[in-house]
Structure 1
């Protein structure tokens, strides 16, 4: 095998697993599938798929079979993971990995599978998590970013939940999304209708802030690690440039230092550092349909960090999506006067350029009432993944006064999160601003990219 630099192919891979963790490993692998992709021509070069026999066949439950159709009879004569570990290692090691939600699931399961057989796991040259990538670059066109929903949007048929089929579907979805974004960007260049507009005064002073409609900076392969979701708790030193913007492999750990947990935190700015006159909006029309709005501060996507925000109610799961699954959200007090001014200004700017009519209702980002501590509140949305909405993209940690200084613990379940969020507790919030117009409602959604919960 050559060096990492000699392995330019991208590996799209997927694991099918049991849904019931055992005592020794979280999930048993039932199937592995992958394709090697040429990054220059985006063509499939090689594929590999195999069923895998878990050491404990009783882990294959009725729920697991309903998802992927893999029964104990299907795998009883198949190789164990130990028997395919060399082959999988050779495919993955030193290449860029790609897949849907692989950072928080497939990569973790794979690493633990190698640990079970006392083998060193393969190491990627970079990772493309298409869930994060497409959420940032292609979001709001579909109800959610599930692979089945994206496949239905493009008319690719039903998702089979079999590894090789899902991998190829993932690859096709990425190519189609990239094509749409490329055409939209090309259309923007040819329309030549961009202009600088005066937004008028957005504060009580005599100064006027200039509202600029800037040429959008949209790339089909812009990593969400750069623009929306904060990086994982490792230093980003291994990412390799190329046709896909990749992120480094995450070393999972339940404890991490505060200094390293958010190494790119400077991209999130304190409210006191925001200049109202530097708030602009990026308007990008779709090929067919409404345009997309992005709120910027000094030509960079607006992302804010606020420390010590008080929680008046706790975690809310009262909101549901179109399928009836709970949507997690957290109400916090916007006690900072500067934060309120910023959000009001962003509200005014976004509303002016939102593509909505009288059938849509604009919902202010700030809720002003005489409730807890008599201050306005904001709602932080926690993006979730999975059919049961029990996993999330947001990095959520907690720290206590009794812990080792500078450390924080990872929150791993909804039950644990609910136990930590109670009225009166404090949270450090890192969030981005996401203008939306969906189902006759429009406004700005505050997406929690990272939360640090203070516990006593």
Structure 2
């Protein structure tokens, strides 16, 4: 989704049609606000700075001068030492205009454009709406929203931890986030471009780029752990598999995740041989909801999965699960094999595969196989016994209908053409 979004935004066309479409389409405004930092839940945030840049959606070039302004609050007491260290000082705000005086400029910057920013849906846009409501004016309205926080979380994954802008900038070595509006806007755009480039490369060269997927040879078993998250009336907490459970609330819901170095475990294995072709699972109404293939695995992957199996089962038992534990590795003809699951998302005519599937031709060229829908018959003709597959998959846990164990969920499969 992210790569397609940015590709659309930066697409160039012929001179005549390009100019016509750019004139018709709304500009994108990347913006950010800086606010006071309330000490308690009853204190509200006060707008102190607004910054924005204006971009052509097809070329990502700036089409106007950036707009940035400090905003003098009604109470200068909201300026804390933290804000002073950022450069938003009491002295600077004393000389700044109140919001009423810059409301027209901010309205002109935002109204009728596509809004873009990090966490703007739940934070920045709400701050703007509250500021306009406070002076009794209607707020600006967007033509659309691009919130890069949920967008990057969904498409790029949590490779940069909690996906805050500071962590994303650190991930791409873009320097520290200084929490000033215009600087953060430009950093947001740089992060978005970096993420889009990585996803583009991963989509087109899946076997060359790891994309957060680890080779079993690169895994240190001592860094594999089971992370436990649980929620109750006391809120949410996270534990590792080594902690005692007698301090937990009496009633809670829990889930487990296998991690390596504090990140969800994802693996890549090149050249796995298909042992059993596509197997179809159906829901209670006879609709396909999951498929799988069985592949033989090398010894290095076997060691990693056996270790995961062991610590996961121990953790399940600690938390009182009585489900029958099903080993992830099966022996077929003295060869260790595993099942790679291919999930189906959506239903009916909208159902499609959650797994990205590629074809590797004899020439070495790799092309993505696009499925308009989950056509099981078409998929069955892609996997035959003895075929070679490059697999990129996550290692997940399940406890369902008195059966528990590890499930390998294919994120990408590269099928070697015969």
TM-score (norm. length: structure 2): 0.50
Distance in 2 between residues matched to 1:366 and 1:82, nearest whole Å:
62
Distance in 2 between residues matched to 1:17 and 1:445, nearest whole Å:
44
Residue 249 of structure 1 is matched in structure 2 by none
Contact 2:36 2:48 in 1 (8 A): yes
Q: Does 1:43 align with 2:52?
A: no
SS of structure 1 residue aligned to 2:136: coil
Could you tell me which runs of 5 or more consecutive residues in structure 2 were left unpaired when the two chains were aligned: 1-22, 216-229, 241-250, 256-282, 285-289, 325-392, 397-405, 410-418
SS of structure 2 residue aligned to 1:182: helix
What number of residue pairs does the alignment pair up? 250
SS of structure 2 residue aligned to 1:151: helix
Deviation at 1:357, TM superposition (A): 7.4
Residue 143 of structure 1 is matched in structure 2 by 161
Q: Does 1:332 align with 2:253?
A: yes
Distance in 1 between residues matched to 2:395 and 2:233, nearest whole Å:
25
Distance in 2 between residues matched to 1:350 and 1:162, nearest whole Å:
52
Deviation at 1:99, TM superposition (A): 0.6
Residue 286 of structure 1 is matched in structure 2 by 209
Contact 2:71 2:93 in 1 (8 A): yes
Structure 1 stretches of 4+ with a deviation exceeding 4 A read 21-25, 310-314, 345-353, 355-361, 363-376, 443-446
Deviation at 1:35, TM superposition (A): 0.5
Distance in 2 between residues matched to 1:108 and 1:365, nearest whole Å:
45
Residue 124 of structure 2 is matched in structure 1 by 106
Residues 111, 331 of structure 1: alpha-carbon distance in 2 compared, 3 angstrom cutoff: same
Residue 93 of structure 2 is matched in structure 1 by 75
Residue 6 of structure 2 is matched in structure 1 by none
Contact 1:347 1:444 in 2 (8 A): no
Residues 6, 90 of structure 1: alpha-carbon distance in 2 compared, 3 angstrom cutoff: farther
Deviation at 1:45, TM superposition (A): 2.2
Residues 357, 96 of structure 1: alpha-carbon distance in 2 compared, 3 angstrom cutoff: farther
Could you tell me which runs of 5 or more consecutive residues in structure 1 were left unpaired when the two chains were aligned: 192-284, 293-309, 321-329, 340-344, 377-433, 438-442, 447-456
Deviation at 1:44, TM superposition (A): 2.1
TM-score (norm. length: structure 1): 0.46
Deviation at 1:138, TM superposition (A): 1.2
Residue 72 of structure 2 is matched in structure 1 by 53
Contact 1:17 1:31 in 2 (8 A): yes
Question: Which of these two proteins has the greater Rg computed from alpha carbons?
Answer: 2
Contact 1:365 1:444 in 2 (8 A): no
Q: 2:112 aligns with which of 94, 103, 107?
A: 94
Q: Any idea what the Cα deviations from partners look like across 1:236-291, whole Å, max 9, x if unmatched?
A: xxxxxxxxxxxxxxxxxxxxxxxxxxxxxxxxxxxxxxxxxxxxxxxxx7356627
Q: 1:123 aligns with which of 132, 141, 144?
A: 141
CA RMSD of aligned residues (A): 4.4
Q: 1:182 aligns with which of 195, 200, 206?
A: 200
